[in-house]
């Protein structure tokens, strides 16, 4: 491979970290992956160890390059994509986190969000950030960390010292992209898509919002500089004395769902994709207009290239889809995810069973933090096959919830939906999704579009790819799925799903699980 050059992408996800190397045709040349530990210190709390994530990042980069026989100096650039909203603080002097990262799924700040609702701040937050007031986003997580991080971890004596040092810029805030860029380059930088998920960034003025920083008592001095998603100036370069022993520009970053939008080449208004991962995230490009949602969707930043206007998107965030398959495994209903299609096909229907996987509340379009996982319609004849099939169907129904809201807000009827993520390898699910949503489902050849999107962003910034038309030429269809189910039947099943969702709402209150 001597003489050949490539672009690498760090894809830091909720359950693990991947490094992929792409060639000029957008094909995968190298790939390595490592899981990291999930910590659940209390019910509804989810944490990650940022140092474990950084060590795994170094490991997967060196492993992937080694397996493919690629030297680091053959990388023209590195892109970063990441689990969004997951939040950490670290000591600028030592580079050590002051606490575990609080993961996007974490619900510990639910009470704080309800206080925002009581204080009539929901509309203000939505107007400035495009987001619903929710524990999902970074602002209340950062506030909690400033109030509760252990000063011993900072080798400081006074509890108040964290807040004081944050005000001096000696304690730094970041989402996972910021943490990785910091460790790769030494620079404290984020980019617009990740900034737009913090509930601290004004997506219209394109700057950190003073009123929101004051509300959450977050000093501006601790915040990263916000850059374009594909940055001609780059975010910095790796240290030639560091683990790669090479100086490689880090030139692009996107939150994972926006990275998938970019990787699916949804560059024009009206183009949409759905990524099936731990959760599912449905994004539609709305161009340079920030479309306000009347149907429970988020208005967010889709991407920005250097010197160009921000491209906005509507987003429907579904908290649990792939994680529902993991739950089936945890409950010993399946031995591995590949079994789900076989078990689902072995029965004609769910026999009236509906699974609502609201394990961490419900996202778009319902936004109920206190909804909880629910199974309804069971009889003595219910078997595991029915529950497995109902769990797969729940993924399709939740996607239709968002698709209908998307069409209502945008006024655009979707002709097709580009899909990616681990679950789309399941042909049964793809066909089911097409049947329930009533649209064509298009699966690309390279389904790791999250990593591909961040590679594209970095490669465009350094001229590895000349323009976005070349990226469109790279995009190839693997398979298309057309609706086969009768529309009346699909509508009837979907109506019953809505009844099941109603049963799950507002459960985790006094007398509930929390």
8-state DSSP, 508 = S
**Residue 15 assigned to a binding site:** yes
Cα angle 83-371-275, degrees, rounded to a multiple of 5? 30
How are strands ordered across the β-sheet holding 28-35? Answer: 28-35, 16-22, 6-12, 75-82, 250-255
Spatial distance between the Cα atoms of 493 and 291, rounded to a whole number of angstroms:
30
**Residue 14 assigned to a binding site:** yes
369, two tokens: 């933090």
**Residue 257 assigned to a binding site:** yes
Q: Which run of H or E residues covers position 345?
A: helix 339-345
**Residue 389 assigned to a binding site:** no
318, two tokens: 């579904």
Cα angle 130-133-137, degrees, rounded to a multiple of 5? 80
The 3-state secondary structure of 182-235, one letter per residue? HHHHCCCEEEHHHHCCCCCEECCCCEECHHHHHHCCCCHHHCCEEECCECCCCC
Closest CA to 136 of 180, 92, 197, 221: 197
**Residue 422 assigned to a binding site:** yes
**Residue 256 assigned to a binding site:** yes
Spatial distance between the Cα atoms of 264 and 287, rounded to a whole number of angstroms:
15
Spatial distance between the Cα atoms of 310 and 194, rounded to a whole number of angstroms:
13
**Residue 426 assigned to a binding site:** yes
**Residue 136 assigned to a binding site:** yes
- Spell out the residues 6+ positions from residue 151 whose beta carbon is closer than 8 angstroms to its own: 98, 157, 158, 159, 161, 162
Whether 395 and 436 have beta carbons less than 8 Å apart is answered as: no
Spatial distance between the Cα atoms of 27 and 379, rounded to a whole number of angstroms:
49
Spatial distance between the Cα atoms of 441 and 274, rounded to a whole number of angstroms:
10
Closest CA to 481 of 288, 223, 236, 274: 274
Spatial distance between the Cα atoms of 429 and 340, rounded to a whole number of angstroms:
9
Q: Which residues of 9-21 are buried (b: 16+ CB within 10 A; e: fewer)?
A: bbbbbbbebbbbb
Q: Where are the alpha helices (DSSP H) in 29-119?
A: 50-68, 110-118
**Residue 156 assigned to a binding site:** no
Whether 297 and 291 have beta carbons less than 8 Å apart is answered as: no
**Residue 198 assigned to a binding site:** no
Binding-site residue positions: 14-15, 18, 84-85, 136, 256-257, 278, 322, 422, 426
Binding-site residue positions for ADP: 14, 18, 278, 322, 422, 426
Binding-site residue positions for ATP: 14-15, 278, 322, 422
């Amino acid at each position: 491979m001597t003489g050949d050059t490539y672009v690498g992408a760090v894809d830091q996800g909720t359950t693990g970290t991947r490094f992929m190397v792409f060639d000029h045709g957008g094909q995968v040349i190298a790939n390595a992956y490592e899981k990291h530990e999930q910590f659940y210190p209390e019910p509804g709390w989810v944490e990650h160890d940022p140092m474990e994530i950084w060590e795994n990042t170094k490991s997967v980069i060196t492993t992937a390059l080694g397996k493919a026989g690629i030297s680091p100096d053959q990388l023209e650039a590195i892109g970063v994509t990441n689990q969004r909203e997951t939040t950490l603080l670290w000591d600028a002097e030592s580079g050590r986190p002051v606490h575990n990262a609080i993961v996007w799924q974490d619900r510990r700040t639910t009470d704080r969000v309800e206080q925002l609702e009581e204080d009539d701040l929901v509309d203000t937050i939505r107007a400035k950030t495009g987001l619903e007031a929710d524990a999902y986003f970074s602002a209340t997580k950062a506030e909690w960390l400033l109030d509760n991080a252990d000063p011993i971890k900072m080798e400081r004596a006074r509890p108040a010292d964290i807040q004081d040092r944050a005000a001096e810029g000696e304690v730094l805030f970041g989402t996972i992209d910021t943490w990785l860029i910091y460790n790769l380059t030494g620079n404290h930088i984020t980019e617009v898509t990740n900034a737009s998920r913090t509930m601290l960034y004004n997506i219209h003025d394109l700057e950190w919002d003073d009123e929101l920083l004051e509300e959450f008592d977050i000093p501006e001095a601790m915040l990263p500089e916000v850059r374009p998603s594909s940055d001609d100036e780059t975010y910095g370069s790796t240290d030639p004395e560091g683990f790669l022993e090479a100086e490689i520009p880090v030139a692009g970053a996107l939150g994972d769902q926006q990275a998938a939008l970019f990787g699916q080449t949804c560059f024009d208004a009206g183009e949409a994709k759905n990524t099936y991962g731990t959760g599912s995230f449905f994004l539609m490009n709305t161009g340079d207009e920030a479309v306000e949602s009347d149907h429970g969707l988020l208005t967010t930043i889709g991407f920005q290239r250097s010197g160009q206007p921000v491209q906005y998107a509507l987003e429907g965030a579904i908290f649990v889809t792939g994680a529902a398959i993991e739950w089936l495994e945890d409950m010993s209903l399946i031995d591995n995810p590949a079994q789900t299609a076989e078990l689902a096909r072995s029965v004609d229907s769910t026999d009236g069973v509906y699974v609502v996987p609201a394990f961490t509340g419900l996202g778009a379009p319902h936004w109920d933090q206190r909804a909880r996982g629910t199974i309804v319609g069971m009889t003595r004849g219910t078997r595991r096959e029915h529950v497995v099939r109902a769990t797969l169907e729940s993924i399709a129904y939740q996607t239709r919830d968002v698709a209908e809201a998307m069409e209502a807000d945008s006024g655009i009827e979707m002709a097709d939906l580009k899909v990616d993520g681990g679950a789309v390898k399941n042909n049964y699910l793809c066909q089911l999704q097409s049947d329930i949503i009533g649209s064509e489902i298009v699966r690309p050849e390279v389904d790791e579009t999250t990593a591909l999107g961040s590679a594209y962003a970095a490669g465009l910034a350094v001229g590895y790819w000349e323009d976005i038309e070349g990226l469109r030429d790279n995009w190839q269809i693997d398979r298309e799925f057309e609706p086969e189910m009768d529309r009346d039947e699909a509508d009837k099943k979907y109506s019953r799903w809505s009844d099941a969702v109603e049963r799950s709402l507002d459960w985790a209150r006094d007398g509930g699980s929390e």
